[in-house]
Chain A
Amino acid sequence: MKSVVAEARALHRTYMRGDTPVRAIRGIDITIQAADYVAILGPSGCGKSTLLNLLGGIDIPTAGSVRLLGHDTRELSDRRLTRLRLEKVGFVFQRFHLLPALSAAENVELPMAEAGLPRPRRRARAEDLLDYVGLSHRVDHRPGQLSGGEMQRVAIARALANKPALILADEPTGELDQDTGAEIGELFLRLNRDGTTLVIVTHDTSLARPATVVHRMRDGALQTEAKP
C-alpha cells in the first residue's frame, strides 16, 4: 500500500479581498499518495492555487486540516513549517520566480544552501539536476539569458534540489507556448516515472492527460475524481 504524502480533510479557506470575504475552498477532502501524479483542473478563480498553497503549507486553512508528511500544518510554527517546505516540498510557479542575479546553477543551489549542504556537493547536485532537465549547457546562464521553457526547467530543477517528497506546480505551463508547454509536460511525466509525487494545478488538459489522478474544481469544491 502506498504511503500518504499529504491529505486534507473538511478543508475550508476564506480570505478577504478588501472588505469582501472570498470563500476560496469549501469543504474539500483530498489525499495525495506517494508517486501519484495528481492534476487539478478548473476555471480561473475556482480555488485551485489556494488548494495547492494549503497542501504545501504556504497557507493555513480557515477550518479543517492539512496533514503534510504526517504533520498538521496548523500546529507547526512558521519556522518548522518553513523547514518542512524546504526539505520535503518542491514548488514550481507559473512565473518561475528565479533570482535574476543568480545563474541557473546558483538558482538550483539556493534551497540546498539554505538547507546547509556544503558548496561542492550542492554544485555537483545542481549540475546533475540541470543535466536531468536538459540544461547541462546552460549551467552558468542567468535567467535573463534563458527562454521561458528553459527558465521553467531551471525552476523544476530547483524544486528537486532537496529531494522533496512532493512537488507542487501551479500552472507551470501558463506562461509558455504550446510546444514548450508540451516539453515541460514530458519532463513532469519523466519525473513521476522516476518516483516523484506530483500535484499540478493547470488549465492545460495536456498536462492532466498522463496524471494518475485528476480532480476538477469549481467554486472551491472538488467536483469529480477520476483515475484514468
Chain B
Amino acid sequence: MSNALSLAWRTLVRRPRRLLLFIAGVTVAAAVLIDMVMLAEGLQRSLSDLLEETGYQVRVVPKGTLPFETEAAILHSTRVAAAFSADPRIADVVPLWGRTIYASSPGAEAVATFGYGAPAGTAPTLRLRVGRTLERLGEVVINRDLAERFRLSPGDSLLVGLEPDPAVGALRSRRVVRVSGVADFMFAAAGSATLALTLEDLWALAGTTSEPAALLMIRVAADANPYAVARELRGRDTSVDVYAIPEIIEAAGDRLTYFQQLSLVLGTVSLGVAFLLVTTLLTLSVNERWGEVAALRALGVTRGRMLAQVAWQGLMISAAGTVAGIAAGLIIARYLDGILTSFPGLPVNLSFFVLDRNDALLAIGLLVVTGLLAGLYPAWRAASVNIAAVLREEIE
C-alpha cells in the first residue's frame, strides 16, 4: 500500500502547477460545502445556544405563537406561574412581557425602545455589564445603546412612558425610574434601544390589570426531564403551547427552510463540481500515462495496486482541497455571516454559520468519499488496461 501511496504522490506532484490549480478548484467546492453545512443548521444551533444560556429549559407561550412573535399574551401570568411552580419538578418560573416603551431624558427627544418586564430579582435574558439587576420597583436596566444615547449610568434617572400624546405634548402614562444597571439584552436587535423594568412597573405603565406575559420561562429541577415536563404542561393547559428548547427550534424551522434548501442545493452542486474536477484530472492523467500504466502492469504491478495508486491520487487531491477548503470556508463564513447578521431585528448574538464538530466531520467525510468515488472510474480504467494492445499501439 505504501508503494502505491508513494507512487500516487510522486505522480501527482510531477505537474505541480496543474495539481495546484485542481486543488484550488476542489478548495472552492469544499469551502462552499463547509459553508453550506454550517449554514444548514447554523441559525438553529446559535438560537439553541442562546436559549440554553438563559438556564431555563422550557418556554410557555400563547397558543399558536412563538415568543414575542405577536402581541398575544398569557393573562394572569402570576397565577399561572404560581400554579406551575407548585410542580416539584419545576425549580423556577419567570413570566416575561414586552411592549414598546418611550424613554426620554431632560433636554432630549423621546425614543421608542423595546421594554421588557421581568419579576424583580430575575434577569434570565440579560448579561449585566455595569451595576446590578432589577431588585425593586422604580428601577430600570438599560442596554448600552440607550446608555450611550442619553449618557446614563447606574444611579441616573430616566423618564419612561407610553407613546407621545400629541394632545398634551408629553408621553402618556409617564414616570421617572432609576437606572440600576447597564446590560446586553440577549435577544435584542443590534443597534436597538432596549430597557427592562420590573413586570409590575411595566404592567402599571401599560395600565393593564390582567398581568399579561408574552411567555413563561421555566427552569426544571436538576433531576427532571424538560421534555417530560413540557409534555405534561401541554396536556394541563390547552390555551398555551409548551416547548422544550429543541422543540421550539423545530417549531421555528419553517422560517429557516430557505437556508436549509439553499444549503442542500449549493452543497450538492459543490460536491458535484469536486467530483467532476477529480475525475477529469485523474482520467486525463491516466490517459497521458497510458503507456506507462501498461508498462507497469507488464513489469508485474497488479491490477489492485494500479487501482489503489489512482484511487490514492483522488483521495490526495480531495484531502488537500478539503484542508484548504475548511480554512477558506471559515473565512468566507465569517464574511457571509457578517452580511446575514445585519438582518434588521435579529438578536445581536445570533450567527447563521455555526461549525458543529459532527457536521464538519460529515462534510469532510463527504468530500473524501467524493474524491474516492471520483477516482474510481479512472482507477478502473488504469487497472483494466489491455497491456498488449497499448504497447502494440504505442509502437505503431
Contact = CB atoms under 8 A, between A and B. Distances in A.
- A–B contact via C-beta, under 8 angstroms: yes
Interface of A: 15, 45, 49-50, 53, 56, 58-59, 78-79, 82-83, 85-87, 89, 91, 93-95, 97, 99-102, 110-111, 113-115, 158, 162, 170-171, 174
Interface in B282-335: 291-292, 295-303, 305
Contacts of B10: 99, 101-102
Contacts of B298: 56, 58, 85, 91, 93
Nearest to A101: B10
A94 B294 CA distance: 13
A171 B388 contact: no
B31 to A, nearest CB: 29
A97 B295 contact: yes
B299 A110 contact: yes
B14 interface: yes
Nearest to B289: A99
B86 interface: no
21 contacts: A15-B388, A15-B389, A53-B388, A53-B392, A58-B391, A82-B297, A83-B300, A87-B300, A91-B295, A91-B298, A93-B391, A94-B395, A97-B291, A99-B292, A101-B14, A113-B3, A114-B299, A114-B300, A114-B302, A158-B299, A170-B395
A156 to B, nearest CB: 13
A46 to B, nearest CB: 12
Contacts of A111: 299-300
Nearest to B293: A97
A99 to B, nearest CB: 6
Q: Which 6 A-B pairs have the closest CB atoms?
A: A86-B300, A97-B295, A59-B388, A101-B10, A53-B388, A101-B14
Among B292, B299, B394, B396, the one with the most A-chain Cβ atoms within 10 Å of its Cβ is B299
Contacts, number: 81
B300 A115 contact: yes
Contact of A170 (B13, B292, B302, B391): B391
Overall SS of chain B's interface:
helix
Contacts of A162: 300
Interface in B10-48: 10-11, 13-14
- Identify whether the interface residues of A are mostly helix, strand, loop, or mixed: mixed
B394 A95 contact: yes
Contacts of B14: 100-101
Contacts of B396: 45
A58 B388 contact: yes
B303 A78 contact: yes
Nearest to A100: B14
A50 B392 contact: yes
B91 to A, nearest CB: 67
Contacts of B11: 99, 101
Contacts of A114: 3, 299-302, 305
Contacts of A78: 303
A51 to B, nearest CB: 11
Contacts of A171: 395
Contacts of A56: 298
Given A95-B394, A170-B391, A101 B299 contact: no
B3 A101 contact: no
Nearest to B300: A86
Contacts of A115: 300
B387 interface: yes
Contact of A85 (B7, B291, B300, B305): B300
Nearest to B14: A101
Nearest to B390: A58
A135 B11 CA distance: 24
A195 to B, nearest CB: 21
B391 A49 contact: yes
Contacts of B296: 97, 99, 110
Greatest chain A CB density within 10 A among B10, B300, B387, B388 is at B300
